[in-house]
Copies of this chain bind each other. A is one copy, B any other.
Amino acid sequence: MTGSIALNLRIEVAPLAIRAERLEALLVREPTGWRLPGGLLETGENLDAAARRHLTEQTGLDEAYLEQLYTFSPSESAAGKLAVTVAYYALLARDAFPDEPAADGRGQMVWSPVAALPDSLRDPVGIVTLAHRRLASKLAYSTIALQLMPERFTLTELQAVHEIVSGETLDKRNFRKRILALDCIEATGDAARRGGHRPARLYRAKRSGQVDFIK
């Protein structure tokens, strides 16, 4: 039997949302720069619970879809101890967070475009980029995009979210046909007037909070 090593386990969460027509990540200020919400696992805690606890404690956000992303090889943590990092991403629905998180006892936070993260962000393994890539590839085979939508949304708004995350322009007719065939959203019966256009039907997720796999 070979020897074993004892490690600390660190959790880091990349919180993502659509703001101002782009994908943004919520960062926490540190004396020397910015970091992702996160911290150590505590005794008796499971990984998902720890990810949710750190996110809530450090950002005040408690309504988020959370998913484990990847576990990174041991590296020296800030405290000088060897730690393994389990990365998560959190998806925030459009109406689930204030536009500008307040600076409070929890420290300062900032929303940063994923495409232009601050140089001083401490993210050596590229968790934010990995989260964006996972999210983009899951668009093709799951209903994950609904986790970024407010409670009620138009098909045009849902298409915009797909386009922002994937970076690709989609054909309107094909997109609508594909989404409606998935049987994952339903019409609310109401309509919304956006800008000068004629009213558009409002939809909602059929299984709110749940991500279904599709082919």
When distances are taken between beta carbons in the complex, the residues of chain B under 8 Å from A213 are 137
Encoded as 1 (CB less than 8 Å from any B CB) or 0, chain A from 1 to 32 comes to: 01111111100000000000000000000000
- Could you list which residues of chain A lie within 8 angstroms of chain B, going by C-beta atoms? 2-9, 39-43, 45-48, 68, 70-74, 81, 84, 86, 137, 140-141, 213, 215
Chain B residue at smallest Cβ distance from A72 = B47
Best-surrounded residue of A5, A8, A41, A45 (most CB of chain B within 10 A) = A5
A-B contact pairs, 8 of them (CB 8 A): A2-B42, A3-B43, A5-B8, A5-B42, A7-B8, A9-B74, A9-B84, A141-B141
Contact of A5 among B43, B68, B140 (CB under 8 A): B43
Best-surrounded residue of A4, A6, A46 (most CB of chain B within 10 A) = A4
CA of A74 to CA of B42 in the docked complex: distance in angstroms? Answer: 10
When distances are taken between beta carbons in the complex, the residues of chain B under 8 Å from A141 are 137, 140-141
When distances are taken between beta carbons in the complex, the residues of chain B under 8 Å from A6 are 6-8
Contact of A140 among B39, B40, B215 (CB under 8 A): B215
On whether the beta carbons of B42 and A71 are closer than 8 Å, the reply is: no
CA of A37 to CA of B164 in the docked complex: distance in angstroms? Answer: 42
When distances are taken between beta carbons in the complex, the residues of chain B under 8 Å from A71 are 47, 68, 71, 86
**Shortest CB distance A169–B (Å):** 14
A48 in contact with B68 given A2-B40, A84-B84, A141-B137 (CB within 8 Å): no
When distances are taken between beta carbons in the complex, the residues of chain B under 8 Å from A74 are 9, 41, 46
Contact of A73 among B3, B39, B48 (CB under 8 A): B48
When distances are taken between beta carbons in the complex, the residues of chain B under 8 Å from A43 are 3, 5
When distances are taken between beta carbons in the complex, the residues of chain B under 8 Å from A2 are 39-40, 42
